[in-house]
């Protein structure tokens, strides 16, 4: 009974969202595969296609929005735009392109997806999709001719992808106002903190607590830092960043450490404490 209810709900959703033609194709495919004893592939709600290589914008505009959707009971995945292929169209109901420049694959992807009544969004959190905006930026004006041509090409290609989409998503009302001439409707979804960023301090690991406390001390511009085994609870990926930060620190650091790499890279003066007393090494 539950299976019949599920199929009925899926049929209604497909008819409403994708039309009679798509429903007929899916029904034919379903009957064919069932007759051969094959299982149907799982369809998810949204695929985010990420065109940004920077970690922080990706976290806010892709990862956090996926968390929002999942908290509302929807399913979502992400993929880098250069890995996109037409086969993905059949696995998702809607697609969100984040800061993606146009490519032949993206152009064909959007065309085919629309033929199946899939919904296409373009997400962008700035105005880097039209030269009339980017030409007013100070550092863009200072570019040499070759760099400016390359930059303008990227702006043009992002604008082309935007214009092919049904809707746009952005972070503020002013940005939404500027986007309205390019798509039929614009939605505002402000940057939010992910679930990971809202954990209580006591729920964090020792390494996470260490990172937060060190960042706070450095941002407060304390003149002296007293640290006890600062690298002890950090991962192999975090330790190089810790050493870099402390090497650039302008104040005085008094640290106790058994980490030879930390001592060699950070310390200017080294003392060793043994049963006979305190001895200067370097």
Q: What is the per-residue pLDDT across 1-13, written as a single tens digit (0 to 9) for each?
A: 445 555 566 666 6
Q: State whether 183 and 244 are in the same domain.
A: no
Task: Provide, rounded to the nearest whole percent, the portion of the chain with pLDDT above 70.
Answer: 82
CA-to-CA separations, 175 to 62, 94, 190, in angstroms, rounded: 18, 23, 11
For 91, residues 6+ apart whose C-beta sits below 8 A from its C-beta are 41, 42, 43, 44, 47
Q: State whether 154 and 206 are in the same domain.
A: no
Q: Which of 157, 188, 219 is the last residue of a domain?
A: 188
Q: Look at the chain and report how many structural domains it folds into.
A: 2
How far, rounded to the nearest angstrom, does the alpha carbon of residue 156 sit from its chain's CA centroid? 22
pLDDT band at 30 (very low <50, low <70, confident <90, very high): low
Highest mean pLDDT among 12-21, 174-183, 223-232: 174-183
Q: What is the per-residue pLDDT across 94-137, written as a single tens digit (0 to 9) for each?
A: 999 999 999 999 999 999 999 999 999 999 999 999 999 999 98
Query: Is 131 part of any domain?
Result: yes
Residue 141's domain spans which residues? 41-188
Query: Is 17 part of any domain?
Result: no
Query: Is 143 part of any domain?
Result: yes
pLDDT for residue 2: 44
Q: State whether 209 and 144 are in the same domain.
A: no
Give the pLDDT mean for 69-94: 93
């Amino acid at each position: 009974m539950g299976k019949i209810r599920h199929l009925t709900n899926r049929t209604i959703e497909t008819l409403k969202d994708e039309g009679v033609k798509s429903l007929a194709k899916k029904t034919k495919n379903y009957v064919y595969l069932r007759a051969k004893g094959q299982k149907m592939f799982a369809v998810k709600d949204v695929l985010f296609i990420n065109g940004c290589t920077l970690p922080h914008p990706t976290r806010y505009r892709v990862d956090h929005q996926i968390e929002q959707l999942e908290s509302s009971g929807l399913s979502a995945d992400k993929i880098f735009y250069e890995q996109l292929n037409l086969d993905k169209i059949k696995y998702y109901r809607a697609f969100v392109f984040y800061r993606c420049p146009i490519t032949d694959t993206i152009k064909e992807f959007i065309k085919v997806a629309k033929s199946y009544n899939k919904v296409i969004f373009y997400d962008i959190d700035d105005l880097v999709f039209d030269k009339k905006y980017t030409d007013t930026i100070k550092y863009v004006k200072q570019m040499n001719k070759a760099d400016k041509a390359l930059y303008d090409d990227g702006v043009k290609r992002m604008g082309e992808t935007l214009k092919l989409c049904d809707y746009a998503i952005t972070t503020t009302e002013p940005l939404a106002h500027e986007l309205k001439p390019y798509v039929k409707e614009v939605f505002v979804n402000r940057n939010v903190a992910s679930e990971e960023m809202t954990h209580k301090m006591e729920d964090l690991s020792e390494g996470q607590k260490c990172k937060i406390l060190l960042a706070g001390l450095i941002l407060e511009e304390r003149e002296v830092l007293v640290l006890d085994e600062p690298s002890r609870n950090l991962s192999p990926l975090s330790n190089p960043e810790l050493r870099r930060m402390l090497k650039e620190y302008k104040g005085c650091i008094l640290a106790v450490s058994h980490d030879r790499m930390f001592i060699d890279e950070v310390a200017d003066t080294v003392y060793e404490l043994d049963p006979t007393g305190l001895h200067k090494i370097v």
